[in-house]
A = this chain, B = another copy of it.
């Protein structure tokens, strides 16, 4: 066998082993999806056990001697030196990622991984009840355990400066607390400045966006949107859940959920575009690479760049509504018939500090994330206790957004993430916005007529651009490498900042 053929054979063996654990994590994705959509309430205990078993099996498979052996044929596990030069460039990148993932996974004992999975499954259920009944104290014991376990996880994974680094790295490989802190600081300043300017001019009236909007019709409209932007409904579906999400079992099984807001017509639309953005990423991954890093999304930040792309860059744009407003008016003639496209476009872009992150406008959104980042950092380093969260939350809310929630449902109980044991996740939301801006600049350069085309209802080329420039690479690049590869520029927060300032000066007619 030639060296090259041997390399391909070894690579195939490794891929097959890796594919096995990916199949199991796809099953986990289905169980999670079911837990949030259709699972009978009394089944939560057994579901937690099922998830624990799966987590154990996945961990076992990812850290098995057989896997390590297959991997070490292609790369030196200690030094990271590629052993076989006959691999292709993407394959070399994949092997490096496999190694990093393996070393990370190896840090965590099986019992810890299983216990973590079981605890989070139970905690999600406890959170849902606590949120419904506004009883932070019924959730706090779970939260204490989860923070304890996250601290332990950080210790197990290791870190140089801050334990939070280890957690961040799980969701956004390479990101550090320090770097994120610097970006967030400049962002906070920029956003606060912009917010001040916006507050100084006349507020936009968006009252027509609120009222009674038939749920069934809202869902019908969502299905049209999904189809037109390129969501393939033979490979996914739309359901309802408390906290909307997208579920990534496989490129042929990428489901999304939404929730219907009791009064807002916009909420479901933006949620669906957002979750579709995630799902299109998953659907756009190369199927033949399923189970290898080349068939995986890069990071949560990059994932979020895709969802925010569709939600904000497309879904809040004028041409998008040039095309869709007539249909929305036809769906809800009574409520929207008299609204001009200009008024509609300004109204959906209204900026106003509010309590709920997922309903925040583009400008204030980052402040919600900064709040969570700061609290998480404090919780993980131990400078904040769980029982102090409600007070700390409200104080930060007042400082950043000049608002105080009336209850914890609208405060520290609003998000599902902590109950999922996900600390270090929130920052990726804002990073996603920044990434999206970078990518969008390149898209605009390549398609300087995008606005015209979108206004005419031509939408599929957007997905195709993302397929080609982002999705199909899998994890051949990390976030910053991909941005550099696509945009030829280094990553920084300025692109996003100036986009926000330019856009909202126009929306608010600020001179």
Contact partner of A40 (CB less than 8 A), chosen from B27, B38, B252, is B252
With a cutoff of 8 Å between Cβ atoms, the chain B residues found around residue A27 in the complex are 27, 31, 50, 53-54
A20-64 vs B, Cβ < 8 Å mask (1 yes, 0 no): 100110110011001000111111011101100110010000000
Number of identical protomers: 2
A322 shortest CB reach to chain B, Å? 31
Task: List A residues at the B interface (Cβ < 8 Å).
Answer: 20, 23-24, 26-27, 30-31, 34, 38-43, 45-47, 49-50, 53-54, 57, 232-237, 239, 249-250, 252-253, 255, 290
Apart from A26-B50, A46-B252: 18 A-B pairs, beta carbons within 8 A: A20-B53, A23-B46, A24-B53, A27-B27, A27-B31, A27-B50, A30-B34, A34-B34, A38-B237, A40-B234, A40-B236, A40-B255, A41-B234, A42-B235, A43-B250, A45-B252, A46-B250, A46-B290
With a cutoff of 8 Å between Cβ atoms, the chain B residues found around residue A235 in the complex are 40, 42-43
A-B contacts, 24 of them at CB < 8 A, read A23-B46, A23-B50, A24-B53, A26-B46, A26-B50, A27-B27, A27-B54, A30-B30, A30-B31, A34-B34, A39-B253, A40-B234, A40-B235, A40-B236, A40-B253, A40-B255, A42-B252, A43-B249, A43-B250, A43-B252, A45-B252, A46-B249, A46-B250, A46-B290
The residue of chain B having its C-beta at the shortest distance from the C-beta of A232 within the complex is B42
Most buried by B among A24, A57, A239, A252: A252
A33 shortest CB reach to chain B, Å? 9
A107 shortest CB reach to chain B, Å? 25
With a cutoff of 8 Å between Cβ atoms, the chain B residues found around residue A41 in the complex are 234
With a cutoff of 8 Å between Cβ atoms, the chain B residues found around residue A23 in the complex are 46, 49-50, 53
